A = this chain, B = another copy of it.
Amino acid sequence: MKLFFSPTSPYVRKCLVAAHELGLGGRIEFLPSNAHPVNRDRTIIAKNPLGKVPTLLTDDGLALYDSRVICEYLDQLAGGSLFGEGAARWSALTLQALGDGILDGALLARYEDAARPEPLRWSDWRAGQLDKGETSLAHLEAHPDLLAPGRIDIGSIAVACALWYLDLRFGDTDWRARFPSVARWYADFSTRPSWRADWTN
């Protein structure tokens, strides 16, 4: 399998952590990419007309996207249980949507800070996008059952990737001080081998 890759994409990270949890990490070859919302990457577009990473090219010729589809494909390929069944599935999928929603807001705030020309930035928009993360982390802090120790499914992986991206791009927000239970959970999660893998070797 081949994956259009970016080291700073949290959605690529989600796929790779899932792959390593499933024992498939060694089977994924990386393809370089330059996905950007304004200067669009025509190499990716040839396989995924949205021009976004992650995009997975499977061994039997499929081009799969986005990260949710790729992760479910990897799970099925490995006979895994990252998605669960019945009530566990709805919980995993909704928690994944929560993690992805935090990320969507954070990515839009990042584009506001780093891509948009400075005179065109709108602080209310940036604040509203980052507030999705605030209200979501408050929800997780108030419902510790959602991040029970040892919960390894696509939901917990997505939340971990969201926290990783907040640290990467918004390291000054000090979310750990406001959400200490989430911080403890993340400290534990980030010791997993799947999290610590060096993707580029």
Contacts and interface: CB of A to CB of B under 8 A. Distances in A.
Nearest to A87: B62
Contacts of A94: 62-65, 69
Contacts of A111: 125
Contacts of A122: 116-117, 120
Nearest to A73: B90
A50 B134 CA distance: 9
A132 interface: yes
A49 interface: yes
A133 to B, nearest CB: 9
Chain A interface residue bracket vs B: 35 or more
B120 A50 contact: no
Chain B CB within 10 A, most for which of A62, A66, A73, A111: A66
B124 A49 contact: no
A194 to B, nearest CB: 23
Contacts of A116: 122, 125
Contacts of A90: 62, 64, 69, 73
Nearest to A101: B50
Best-buried of A39, A93, A115, A136 by chain B (most CB within 10 Å): A93
A156 to B, nearest CB: 16
A97 B51 contact: no
A111 B50 CA distance: 19
